[in-house]
């Protein structure tokens, strides 16, 4: 309906259309509804971008983050990124250029986790099934992932203390 209206009013070739959300939804997965946990169903968020004159769609499988949203729109509009925007433009991905994968950080209430191929770090409270944070066997992995979160926080000027 939106694209049809843009077409009818002659705005299709001058309008960037974006569809996204601030969270996914469990929709019954894990016997849950809503967004109250860090399962993939609740953490995965749609991001659809339709550019003026774009005729075909494509799927980008590389994880991206909302922190990249403003820099991407500024880049699409030919404007410089603001110094306080910690994200990076997704335009190279849109243009199908080779882009090295980036870490994507998720947070909900006091919980944070990092998504990276083969590893995840999450701190939880008593309701968790198994907490490996105090297990010495995992200390090197926990230290490395915690360091990555702290480096990202510093680069994003994120003041939340972990």
Q: What is the DSSP string of 30-43?
A: GG--SS-S-SHHHH
Which pLDDT score, from 0 to 100, does residue 7 have? 92
Please, which pLDDT band fits residue 75 given cuts at 50, 70 and 90? very high
Nearest one of 82, 87, 122 to 106, comparing CA atoms: 122
**Least confident stretch, 19-23, 94-98, 104-108, 134-138:** 104-108
Report strand pairing: 104-108 vs 47-50.
unpaired
94, pLDDT greater than 80? yes
162, pLDDT greater than 70? no
């Amino acid at each position: 309906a939106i694209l049809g209206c843009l077409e009818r009013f002659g705005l299709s070739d001058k309008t960037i259309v974006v569809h996204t959300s601030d969270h996914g939804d469990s929709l019954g997965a894990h016997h849950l509804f809503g967004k109250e946990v860090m399962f993939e169903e609740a953490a995965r968020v749609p991001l659809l971008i339709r550019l003026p004159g774009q005729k075909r769609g494509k799927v980008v499988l590389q994880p991206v983050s909302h922190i990249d949203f403003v820099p991407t729109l500024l880049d699409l509009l030919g404007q410089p990124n603001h110094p306080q925007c910690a994200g990076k433009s997704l335009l190279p991905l849109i243009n199908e250029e080779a882009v090295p994968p980036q870490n994507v950080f998720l947070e909900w209430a006091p919980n944070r986790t990092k998504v990276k191929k083969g590893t995840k770090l999450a701190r939880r409270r008593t309701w968790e099934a198994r907490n490996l944070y105090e297990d010495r066997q995992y200390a090197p992995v926990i230290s490395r992932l915690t360091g990555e979160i702290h480096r990202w926080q510093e680069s994003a000027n994120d003041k939340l203390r972990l």
